[in-house]
C-alpha cells in the first residue's frame, strides 16, 4: 500500500473512527492483499509510511470474498469483477484475508 493511501486511511479513520471503516481490497494475489490488509490493521510492515507503528485494527476484506460479493448488485459485480475471478486463486485470497482478520482486526 503506497504512502498516500496509508495517509488517506489514517485520516479517514481519525475522522470517522475505526469501527466505522471497512477496507476493501482487490489485489490479484493473496500475499499482496495480505500485506495491504496487515498495513491497515497492524501497521506498516515496511516501517516506511504513515501507518508505521499504528495499529488501527480495521475490518478488511477482498472484493472476491463471498461475504462481500453478496453485498454487490449482481449485475455490477458481473461487469466489474467476475472476469478477474477466473484467473485468481480465490481460496488463497480468502485464507490470507481471514488470517489477517483473525490476527489483527478489532472490529
In tens, the pLDDT along 26-81 reads: 999 999 999 999 999 999 999 999 999 999 999 999 999 999 999 999 999 999 99
Parent domain of 68 = 3-104
Provide the pLDDT for residue 100: 97
Q: Are 21 and 13 in contact (CB under 8 A)?
A: yes
Q: What is the pTM of this model?
A: 0.93
With the C-alpha atoms ordered 7, 84, 28, 36, is the resulting torsion angle positive or negative?
positive
Q: How many domains does the chain have?
A: 1
CB-CB contact of 92 with 98 (8 Å): no
CA–CA gap between residue 66 and residue 55 (Å, rounded) = 26
pLDDT at 6: 97
Predicted confidence at residue 8, as pLDDT, reads 98
Amino acid at each position: 500500500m503506497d504512502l498516500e493511501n496509508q495517509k488517506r486511511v489514517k485520516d479517514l479513520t481519525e475522522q470517522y473512527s475505526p469501527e466505522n471503516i471497512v477496507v476493501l481490497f482487490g489485489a490479484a494475489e493473496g500475499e499482496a492483499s495480505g500485506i495491504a490488509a496487515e498495513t491497515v490493521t497492524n501497521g506498516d510492515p515496511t516501517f516506511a509510511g504513515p501507518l508505521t507503528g499504528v495499529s488501527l485494527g480495521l475490518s478488511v476484506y477482498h472484493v472476491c470474498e463471498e461475504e462481500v460479493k453478496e453485498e454487490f448488485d449482481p449485475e455490477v459485480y458481473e461487469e466489474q469483477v467476475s472476469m478477474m475471478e477466473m484467473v485468481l486463486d480465490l481460496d488463497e485470497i480468502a485464507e490470507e484475508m481471514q488470517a489477517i482478520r483473525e490476527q489483527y482486526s478489532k472490529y
